[in-house]
Amino acid sequence: GTSDLFATCSKNDIRVWHTPENRELLRIVVPNMTCHAIEFMRDGKSIISAWNDGKIRAFMPETGRLKYVIDHAHSLGVTAIAATSDCKRIISGGGEGQVRVWEIGERTHKLGEVLKEHVSAVSCIKIKKDDRECVTASLDGTCIIWDIVRFIRRQMVLANTLFKCVCYHPEEYQMITSGTDRRIRYWEVFDGSAIREVEGSVSGSVNGMDITSDGAYFVT
């Protein structure tokens, strides 16, 4: 919740950075493992992370101490992760294409639901502000909008690409996607219809994307 801190993840480690001084504050090392995705919990009490050994690990953001581990979260590695704003649920995506919803308590974490529609790795997960819906992007060329109250598919969009990233517009009536075909596509959330597309890159895949809080700009 502050722009003074951000975190990055890679092979072997997670690093927490101090923006004003461009300085590394903390390095959390898990040797020989690759961290595919991280997120700060909204309450600021943990960093949740997705790892290629199939585990979800949560760390304390100040000390880097391990808070808890969810073993065997996904069979082919955990490839995407997101948390609800009330900090009570984590949604993870795996290399096998499953989307899993975890109930997180004070000292407990248990599997709530498994959503099986994607047939390839889940690359990105974004949750709506009200915690009632999420969108998952996958390398199978689909993005699925899920109702995470009733755990059903609301909508699906298709493109001839490996989706790498998806973002809701701040007002959440549209979303943008991108991936290996370098095209940034705008979609209507309500009915999944394509609105427009723009070229995002001349040569390389678009691997990450975010949008400003006023919706005026996005960055890739």
Residue 1 has what pLDDT? Answer: 82
Question: Please, are residues 123 and 111 in contact by the beta-carbon 8 Å criterion?
Answer: no
Q: What is the pLDDT along the chain (220 residues), one digit of tens a residue?
A: 889 999 999 999 999 999 999 999 999 999 999 999 999 999 999 999 999 999 999 999 999 999 999 999 999 999 999 999 999 999 999 999 999 999 999 889 999 999 999 999 999 999 999 999 999 999 999 999 999 999 999 999 999 999 999 999 999 999 999 999 999 999 999 999 999 999 999 999 999 999 999 999 999 9
Residue 89 lies in a domain: yes
Phi/psi of residue 51, nearest 5 degrees: -125, 155
- What's the pTM value of the predicted model, to 2 decimals? 0.95
Residue 141 lies in a domain: no
Residue 2 has what pLDDT? Answer: 87
User: In whole angstroms, what is the distance from residue 34 CA to residue 11 CA?
Assistant: 4
Q: Which of 83, 158, 164, 88 is nearest to 128 (CA)?
A: 83
3-state DSSP assignment of residue 19: helix
Question: Please, are residues 82 and 96 in contact by the beta-carbon 8 Å criterion?
Answer: no
Residue 124 has what pLDDT? Answer: 98
**What single letter denotes the amino acid at residue 84?**
T
Q: Which of 205, 47, 216, 85 is nearest to 139 (CA)?
A: 205
Residue 82 lies in a domain: yes
Residue 148 lies in a domain: no
What torsion do the CA atoms of 11, 16, 21, 22 make, to the nearest 10 degrees?
20
Residue 167 has what pLDDT? Answer: 97
Beta-bridge mates of residue 137 = 124, 143
Residue 53 lies in a domain: yes
Residue 155 lies in a domain: no
Residue 15 has what pLDDT? Answer: 98
Residue 207 lies in a domain: no
Measured CA distances, 113 to 21, 147, 150, 211 (Å)? 42, 12, 10, 29
Residue 114 has what pLDDT? Answer: 98
**What single letter denotes the amino acid at residue 109?**
H
97 token code pair: 């294409």
Q: What total of structural domains would you count in the chain?
A: 1
- Rounded to a whole number, what is the distance in angstroms from the first to the last CA of the chain? 21
Residue 90 lies in a domain: yes
User: In whole angstroms, what is the distance from residue 177 CA to residue 155 CA?
Assistant: 14
87 token code pair: 């900090």
92 lies in which domain range?
5-123
Phi/psi of residue 21, nearest 5 degrees: -110, 5
For residue 115, what is the domain's CATH number? 2.130.10.10
